[in-house]
């Protein structure tokens, strides 16, 4: 995701990337023309308006801390965060603008609303969330699966069952199934290119960079017609 963000940001004239951060050791001083900072070097990063984080749970805390210390906005898509890390986002949102979303695609934002409405309309139906991703993905169920399950739980009062498949280079597929005797409803989102997530995160960053402190939902920020 970091590579997609750098590539797509370079194509735009309305934003510029001032630094990249990762765990790479030894630190690669420049990545795609952008100054790179490795673990332990983040405090030396230049001034910025908003940070975009697509790391891993073990890389998230220093980025949140830097944004909070400098009073700058954060857009994060890192999944598999702990409840303590989610609570830290809520705390930080008292002083900075924060967006965290398990999925930055428009399609999943629409699917989430459909799932919420279907669950509310189909009380007593069985509900399962099946997700499939590439074999490099470390967390399961996916953040999107948990997000869709939470939307279903609003309408049905309990979380669905989850199933995870890891195979090949699947970008990200999520199927929410509602089943009752004699019929079955399946709502499916299939991502075929990871750029959709990076584009969504860049748009969110542009919108939240100078917002007042608070935790902003992706739909309220990006898809007000939903
Ligand atoms: N919300 C959304 O729309 C989406 C969310 N995701 C989520 O984004 C995250 C990243 O996904 P992906 O890009 O595929 O994963 P990768 O493993 O390809 O990239 C993870 C990045 O985090 C860096 N990193 C890992 N640990 C640390 C650390 N301790 N300190 C600093 N940097 C660290 C890695 O550094 P290095 O390069 O040096 O290894 C790497 O640059 C996952 O949680 C995934 O679920 C993914 C796609 C869409
Ligand atoms: O790791 C990925 O690739 C993805 N992770 C996110 C998730 O955990 O839901 C979003 C997307 O499905 C791709």
Of 3, 78, 102, which is best to mutate to test ligand 2, by the most ligand atoms within 8 angstroms of its C-beta? 102
| C-alpha separations of 4 from 32, 80, 168, 174 in Å | 11, 20, 19, 21
Tell me what pLDDT residue 211 has: 97
Q: Whose CA is nearest to atom 4 of ligand 2?
A: 172
Tell me what pLDDT residue 111 has: 97
What class does CATH assign to 106-191?
alpha beta
**Fold (topology level) of 2-100+195-222:** Rossmann fold (3.40.50)
Backbone angles phi, psi at 76, to 5 degrees: -130, 145
Integer Cα distance of 2 and 5 in angstroms: 5
Domain extent listing, the chain: 2-100+195-222, 106-191
Annotation-wise, does 182 bind a ligand?
no
Identify the three-state secondary structure at position 155: helix
Tell me the average confidence (pLDDT) per consecutive run of 10 residues in the chain, 226 residues long: 96 96 85 90 95 98 98 98 98 98 97 96 96 98 98 93 97 98 98 98 97 96 84
What is the distance, to the nearest Å, from the Cα of residue 186 to the centroid of all Cα atoms in its chain? 23
Tell me what pLDDT residue 57 has: 98
Tell me what pLDDT residue 126 has: 97
């Amino acid at each position: 995701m970091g590579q997609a963000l750098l590539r797509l940001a370079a194509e735009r004239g309305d934003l510029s990337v001032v630094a990249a951060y990762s765990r790479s050791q030894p630190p690669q001083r420049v990545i795609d023309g952008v100054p790179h900072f490795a673990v332990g070097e983040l405090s030396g990063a230049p001034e910025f308006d908003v940070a975009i984080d697509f790391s891993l749970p073990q890389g998230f805390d220093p980025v949140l801390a830097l944004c909070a210390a400098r009073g700058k906005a954060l857009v994060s898509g890192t999944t598999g965060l702990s409840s303590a890390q989610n609570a830290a986002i809520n705390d930080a949102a008292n002083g900075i603008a924060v967006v965290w979303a398990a999925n930055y695609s428009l399609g999943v934002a629409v699917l989430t609303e459909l799932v919420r409405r279907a669950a509310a309309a189909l009380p007593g139906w069985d509900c399962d969330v099946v997700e499939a991703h590439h074999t490099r993905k470390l967390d399961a169920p996916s953040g999107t699966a948990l997000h869709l399950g939470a939307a279903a739980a609003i309408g049905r009062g309990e979380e669905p069952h989850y199933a995870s498949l890891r195979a090949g280079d699947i970008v990200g597929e999520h199927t929410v199934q509602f089943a009752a005797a004699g019929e079955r409803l399946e709502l499916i989102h299939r991502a075929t290119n990871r750029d959709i997530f990076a584009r969504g995160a860049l748009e969110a960053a542009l919108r939240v960079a100078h917002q007042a402190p608070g935790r902003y939902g992706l739909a309220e920020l990006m898809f007000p017609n939903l």
